[in-house]
Amino acid sequence: MANQWFRMYGEFATDPKVQMLNEANQRRYIMLLCLRCSNGDVTLHDDEIAFQLRISSEEWAATKAVLLGKKLITDDNRPTAWDKRQYLSDSSAARVAAHRAKKKADKKQACNVTETPPDTDTEVKPSLTPAGEDAAPIEPDPEPAQPAHAEPAASVTGLFPMHLEWVPDQVQLKARAAMAGLPLDLFNREAIAGFVIHHEAKGLAKTEREWLAALVNWVKRDTVQAAARPAAVVSFPGKGQRRANGPDFDDPSWRTMTEYDL
């Protein structure tokens, strides 16, 4: 699958609002456009923006105040002119899904049409071949066999609920993981299985791009929490106490989790 892209206009070089920014804030604004392109309508919180830009929360707060003052972004970190500058036609996903749905509907309608027999007792004989033999009846193409556990079909809008057979696209996942600064090996079988099982029970419908963005945020959150969690202290007979890596089952941070974190 090709990398995500967005339209950027030449007036960026002459727009006073942009050119009055210093170079650091110009770069951070462009990075924000890239994040908007890669994450779709998924809202990015301030701490996630700071993490993606590799700057502190205080640095992002200062940059955000400048961009808000220029009316380049909204308070929830969305570029203000995004919908005006970008076009739905730039993505072929919706067009392909609509075309496939229409083709399937036309085929189903054609199969439901029956031919009225003629009002006569004359038997209609099949046509003859050049050799004078009766032509064999044309058999309709058999319907393709459906797998025992077929994945739910995406709607025309590209939305589909999470299901247990979902596997993330590796090319797009690799690109998103690199943008988030996460090694690809963090997206192992256990991490993906936990994400799928959790969201499959909720029944929410999202696009493939939104599910991938949510998976990256899921793994990133676990990585940040694991790095911030203090190591457990383990006592060894005759050797005193040592710190050992492992989960902290006394960590009460789950009480502050929001619906977005889950």
Residues 19-53 have pLDDT tens digits of 888 888 889 888 888 888 887 767 788 888 889 89
Q: What's 160-250's CATH class?
A: mainly alpha
pLDDT one-digit tens code per residue, 101-156: 888 887 777 666 555 555 555 555 555 544 555 555 556 565 655 555 545 555 56
Q: Where are the domains of the chain?
A: 10-85, 160-250
Whether residue 262 is predicted with pLDDT greater than 70 in this model: the reply is: no
Q: With a cut of 80, say whether residue 235 has pLDDT above it.
A: no
Q: What are the backbone angles phi and psi of residue 108, rounded to the nearest 5°?
A: -65, -40
Model confidence at 1, in pLDDT bands (50, 70, 90)? very low
Distance of alpha carbon 106 from alpha carbon 100, whole angstroms: 10
CB burial of 76-105 (b: ≥16 within 10 Å; e: otherwise) equals ebebeeeeeebeeeeeeeeeebeeeeeeee
Confidence of residue 82 (pLDDT cuts 50, 70, 90): confident
- pLDDT beyond 70 at 196: yes
Q: What is the mean pLDDT of residues 43-68?
A: 89
Tell me what pLDDT residue 258 has. Answer: 52
pLDDT at 215: 92
Q: What is the assigned CATH class of domain 10-85?
A: mainly alpha
